[in-house]
Amino acid sequence: MERLKLSCKNYYFTQHDNEIYCHIKVYNKFTNYKNEVTEKAICASDDKFDLKTGQRLARSRAEKVAFAQFKGWLDHYYIPKRLDENDEIFELSDRMKQYIEHQEDYIKTF
């Protein structure tokens, strides 16, 4: 089974005064999950703003939110759906076992 990982499709930064925004698109090809997240880093008015540090901080925050949203989606949608599918598969397997036993009993009557 392929590892469930969240991949970054692309990202870019925008800046407004002392705020840096990171816009990130993420996906998981196994589950077909896609999402877009925007997070920001703010420099205090008395700090000298460092662009690279702001970009790294904004991207880290965006990735953290993307991971949290993916986990929530897995916990509340994907995993319960898969568990329901597993229950149906186990029920089908049990029915097939009953059918086999019925056919074996029927064959013995000949």
Confidence of residue 64 (pLDDT cuts 50, 70, 90): very high
Given this model, what pLDDT does residue 4 score? Answer: 67
The yes-or-no verdict on residue 23 having pLDDT over 90 is: yes
Domain layout of the chain by residue ranges: 7-108
Residue 49 or 32, more confident: 32
Write out pLDDT tens, residues 79-99.
888 887 877 777 877 788 888
- CB neighbour list of residue 19: distance below 8 Å, 6 or more residues apart: 40, 41, 42, 43
> Cα–Cα distances in Å, from 89 out to 44, 48, 76, 93?
57, 60, 21, 6
The yes-or-no verdict on residue 47 having pLDDT over 90 is: no
Average confidence (pLDDT) over 51-60: 88
What's the mean pLDDT when you consider all of the chain? 84
pTM exceeds cut of 0.85: no
Q: What is the CA radius of gyration of the chain?
A: 25
